């Protein structure tokens, strides 16, 4: 059904005149008549009675008019929302842990861009210390951390959640089926880790240092997916957030190692500086990030 024909029908019904409806819509009378005939042919019922130059709705026409109003209201609401979304323009600078980029941005950006094409999202990966330097220098609007819990009155905490994190190995690794593994035995294994000083790697290193222990990895990369896949192939052991490994755990390709001596808490937190003005594009990005709780 052509929506233009339905709009023409509404105007003819309200004005009770093909000529007046044409004048209002910018159509000739013949165009209005053609559109109404198309609608009647499509529905298979007469919509108007035309007697002595008067135009009156038939019973079918009266029923259609009520539905046509609802359809037109829904369409107009959609167009208004689309127009409003298209008018919102701006840049939002988001700094986050590298391993969160794929998980979070992959979820929210396609829908965000479809709904608000005028918003540009600048996403930068950085360590926690660099994140807050950028926030304090107004080089970033928002930070999404993956670290130990942070509390500072200079920042507004918009969202937070505790993240599971484990030592992981390939399913066929000699340690895979052990009920527990000691730290001293664990650190003798070849490790594949993210960069030193970065988010959960730093938290792990600090927890080990408190016990006078240290891991010297055989492979270091900021690419969490690469590390995860290499571990699944038997290249060594890693320390990774559960959201990065859950699929391979479920597929039976990775196993969690139980290390009772190692208790580490990792949190995601979405924050902005307390003095930051929240623009409309920034508010919209925050709303989308709220939908993506890991």
- Percent of the chain past pLDDT 90, that is, above it, reads 44
- If pLDDT is split at 50, 70 and 90, which confidence band does 77 have? confident
Position with higher pLDDT, 97 vs 259? 259
- Average pLDDT of the residues in 63-92: 80
pLDDT value, residue 153: 93
Distance CA 74, CA 92 (A): 31
- Average pLDDT of the residues in 45-72: 86
| pLDDT above 90: residue 290 | no
pLDDT value, residue 230: 97
CB atoms within 10 A of CB 156: 14
Highest mean pLDDT among 35-39, 106-110, 283-287: 283-287
- Average pLDDT of the residues in 192-200: 86
- Percent of the chain past pLDDT 70, that is, above it, reads 97
CATH number of 3-86: 1.10.10.10
- pLDDT 10s digits, 152-191: 999 999 999 898 999 999 999 999 989 999 999 999 999 9
Instruction: State the average pLDDT for the chain.
Output: 89
- Average pLDDT of the residues in 90-99: 89
Q: Which CATH superfamily includes the segment(s) 163-264? A: Periplasmic binding protein-like II (3.40.190.10)
Distance CA 50, CA 11 (A): 16
Q: Where in the chain is the domain with CATH 3.40.190.10?
A: 88-162+267-290, 163-264
Q: Where in the chain is the domain with CATH 1.10.10.10?
A: 3-86
DSSP-assigned states of every residue in 37-72: HHHHHHHTS--EEEETTEEEE-HHHHHHHHHHHHHH
pTM of the full structure = 0.64
134 close to 126: Cβ distance less than 8 angstroms: yes
Give the residue among 266, 264, 241 at the shortest CA–CA distance from 168. Answer: 241
Helix (H/G/I), strand (E/B), else coil: 182? coil
- Fold for the domain defined by 88-162+267-290: D-Maltodextrin-Binding Protein; domain 2 (3.40.190)
pLDDT value, residue 294: 59
- Average pLDDT of the residues in 74-80: 77
Distance CA 107, CA 166 (A): 23
pLDDT value, residue 84: 63
Pairing verdict, β 238-241 and 165-170: antiparallel
| pLDDT above 90: residue 236 | yes
């Amino acid at each position: 059904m052509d929506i233009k024909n339905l709009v023409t029908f509404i105007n003819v019904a309200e004005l009770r005149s093909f000529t007046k409806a044409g004048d209002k819509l910018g159509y000739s009378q013949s165009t209005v008549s053609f559109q109404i005939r198309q609608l009647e042919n499509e529905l298979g019922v007469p919509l108007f009675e035309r007697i002595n130059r008067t135009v009156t709705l038939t019973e079918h026409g009266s029923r259609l008019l009520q539905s046509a109003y609802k359809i037109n209201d829904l369409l107009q609401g959609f167009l208004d929302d689309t127009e409003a979304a298209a008018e919102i323009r701006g840049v939002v600078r988001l700094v986050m842990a590298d391993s969160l980029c794929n998980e979070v941005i992959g979820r929210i950006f396609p829908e965000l861009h479809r709904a608000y094409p005028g918003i540009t999202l600048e996403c930068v990966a950085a360590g926690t210390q660099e994140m807050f330097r950028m926030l304090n220098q107004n080089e970033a609007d928002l930070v999404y951390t993956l670290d130990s819990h942070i509390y500072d009155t200079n920042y507004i905490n918009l969202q937070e959640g505790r993240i599971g994190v484990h030592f992981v190995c390939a399913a066929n690794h000699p340690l895979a089926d052990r009920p527990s593994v000691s730290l001293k035995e664990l650190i003798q294994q070849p490790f594949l880790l993210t960069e030193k000083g970065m988010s959960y790697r730093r938290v792990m290193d600090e927890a080990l240092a408190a016990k006078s222990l240290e891991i010297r990895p055989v492979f270091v990369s900021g690419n969490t997916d690469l590390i995860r896949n290499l571990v699944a192939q038997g290249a060594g052991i890693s320390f990774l957030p559960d959201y990065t490994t859950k699929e391979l755990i479920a597929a039976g390709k990775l196993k969690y190692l139980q290390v009772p001596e190692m208790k580490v808490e990792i949190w995601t937190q979405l924050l902005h500086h307390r003095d930051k003005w929240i623009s409309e594009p920034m508010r919209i990005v925050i709303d989308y990030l709220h939908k993506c709780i890991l």
